[in-house]
């Protein structure tokens, strides 16, 4: 069943996710202001969609994810921008959907790495974006594109699949 009120969360999620994906590809950096913008948009729009208990629980999810992200960043598992963006995304994801969401992240990770490698060996395309940091940083991958795509696809599918 389609849950139309939740689609209001797509309004800020799409442009912020595009910004995050572009910034991570170009600079290998996710701006803090993008993470704040996503979280604040949830704080403003979510009361139109969820009851007070669900709203509070989802904010708590974001705080838990922030703590876990700081830990993961401190031991070198993920980048700081990725962990902050994941924390900002967390309230958008319903807790019962966490396993399908993680599966979605896995699928999009695989697809993104393949596309990134293919673009990296395509001279005509790579020459247009040769100064982007994601092409010049060996051993690192701009995971912000995966996180951003996962959020948008999840929100689009929410109500149909989830």
Better-predicted residue by pLDDT, 137 or 66: 66
**pLDDT tens-digit readout, 5-43:** 678 999 999 999 999 999 999 999 999 999 999 999 999
- Residue 162, domain member (yes or no): no
- Residue 57, domain member (yes or no): yes
Beta carbons within 10 angstroms of residue 75's beta carbon: 8
Helix boundaries (H) for the chain: 10-27, 32-45, 52-74, 80-89, 98-120, 123-128, 133-136, 144-157
Q: Closest Cα to residue 25, out of 116, 118, 124, 149?
A: 116
Split into its structural domains, the chain has a count of 1
Beta carbons within 10 angstroms of residue 99's beta carbon: 8
pLDDT at 161: 67
pLDDT at 46: 94
pTM of the model: 0.93
- Residue 110, domain member (yes or no): yes
- Residue 74, domain member (yes or no): yes
- Residue 76, domain member (yes or no): yes
The domain containing residue 24 runs over which residues?
Answer: 4-157
pLDDT at 124: 84
pLDDT at 14: 97
Q: Closest Cα to residue 39, out of 71, 7, 84, 2?
A: 84
- Residue 17, domain member (yes or no): yes
**pLDDT tens-digit readout, 57-100:** 999 999 999 999 999 999 999 999 999 999 999 999 999 999 99
- Residue 34, domain member (yes or no): yes
- Residue 21, domain member (yes or no): yes
pLDDT at 2 over 60: no
């Amino acid at each position: 069943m389609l849950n139309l009120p939740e689609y209001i969360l797509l309004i800020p999620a799409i442009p912020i996710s595009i910004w995050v994906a572009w910034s991570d590809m170009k600079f290998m950096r996710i701006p803090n202001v993008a993470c704040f913008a996503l979280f604040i948009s949830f704080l403003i729009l979510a009361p139109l969609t969820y009851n007070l208990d669900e709203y509070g629980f989802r904010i708590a999810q974001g705080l838990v994810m922030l703590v876990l992200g700081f830990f993961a960043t401190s031991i070198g598992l993920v980048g700081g921008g990725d962990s902050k963006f994941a924390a900002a995304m967390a309230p958008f994801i319903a807790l019962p959907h966490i396993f399908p969401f993680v599966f979605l992240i896995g699928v999009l990770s695989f697809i993104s790495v393949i596309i990134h490698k293919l673009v990296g060996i395509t001279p005509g395309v790579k020459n247009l974006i040769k100064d982007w940091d994601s092409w010049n940083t060996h051993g690192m991958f701009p995971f912000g594109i995966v996180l951003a795509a996962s959020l948008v696809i999840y929100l689009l599918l929410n109500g149909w699949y989830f």
